[in-house]
Amino acid sequence: MSDNLMTTQTEEWRQHLVYENYDVSSRGRVRQREYIDAGGHRRKAKMKAISLLGSESGCDNRYFATGITHKGRSRRMKVATLVLETFVGPRPDGQIVLHGPGGQFDDRLENLCWGTYSQNNGVDKERDGTVARGERHGNSKLTDAQCNEIVSRYAAGDVVYRELAAEYSVSITHISHIGLGKRRQRPTPAAGTAA
C-alpha cells in the first residue's frame, strides 16, 4: 500500500498535497505524520486536536479547525478546507467550502464541495432552514404562530386590520401584508378543513 494513501474500512487517509506533514481523512480527521523536529529529535505521528473556530465570538458562523505548522509558521485551518484540498484538489478561484445537508459541523467528504458565495447564501440556506425569514429574522416583531393567528382571525371575519394592529402593536400596513401573504407564508389549512 502506498505511503500516501492508507484506507481503513469507511475512512480513507491521504497526505495533504501542500502540508506534507499532515494526513487528512475522508471523515474529517487530521493527524500529524512522524517527523524530525528542529533539534533533530524524532516525533511520533499524532492525531490533531480539533476545536470550534469562531466559538469565542459566540456567533453561529463556527467551524471545526485545527492547528497546522508549515515551514516554521503556525496557523489555524478549517478542517473542511483541508478535506477538500486533500481529496478534491486546490480551491478554485472565487469558491468557498460548502457544507451539505449534514450542516457546518459535518466535515466528512460526502458533505462537502467547492461552490460560490451565492450558492452558500441561497439554495444551501433554504435547504438547511437557516434563512433569516419570519420569526428567525432579527427585526421580526411577531412570531410565526402570531402571524398564523392574525390570518385565521381576519379570515374568520372576527376583526379588522386596525384592531389587529392595535392588539399586536404593529402598523396596519404590517398586518395587511401578513393578511395578504406578502410578509409571511399563509398558513396551510389543517387536514379536513376547507382552504
Domain ranges of the chain: 5-128, 134-179
Where does 5-128 sit in CATH, by number? 3.90.75.20
Mean pLDDT for the chain?
Answer: 81
How large is the average pLDDT for residues 92-117? 92
The confidence score (pLDDT) of residue 179 equals: 79
CA separation, residue 39 to residues 21, 36, 68, 69 (Å)? 17, 8, 19, 16
**Cα(63)–Cα(126) distance, rounded to whole angstroms?**
19
CA distances from 56 to 18, 33, 60, 125 (A): 29, 29, 11, 23
pLDDT, residue 107, reads 94
Confidence of residue 54 (pLDDT cuts 50, 70, 90): low
Question: pLDDT-derived band of residue 60, with 50, 70 and 90 as boundaries?
Answer: low
Half-sphere exposure of 148 (CA within 13 A, CB side): 9
pLDDT: which is higher, 187 or 74: 74
Q: Do 106 and 97 contact (CB within 8 A), yes or no? A: no
Q: Say what percent of the chain tops pLDDT 90.
A: 32
**Residue 97 host element (H or E):** strand 96-99
Handedness of CA 90, 96, 101, 107 (dihedral sign): positive
Tell me 104's DSSP state: T
Give bridge partners of residue 42 from the DSSP assignment.
Answer: 36
pTM given for the model: 0.62
> At residue 41, what is the residue type?
H
Specify which of 95-99, 100-104, 148-152, 167-171 reaches the highest per-range mean pLDDT: 95-99
pLDDT band at 146 (very low <50, low <70, confident <90, very high): confident
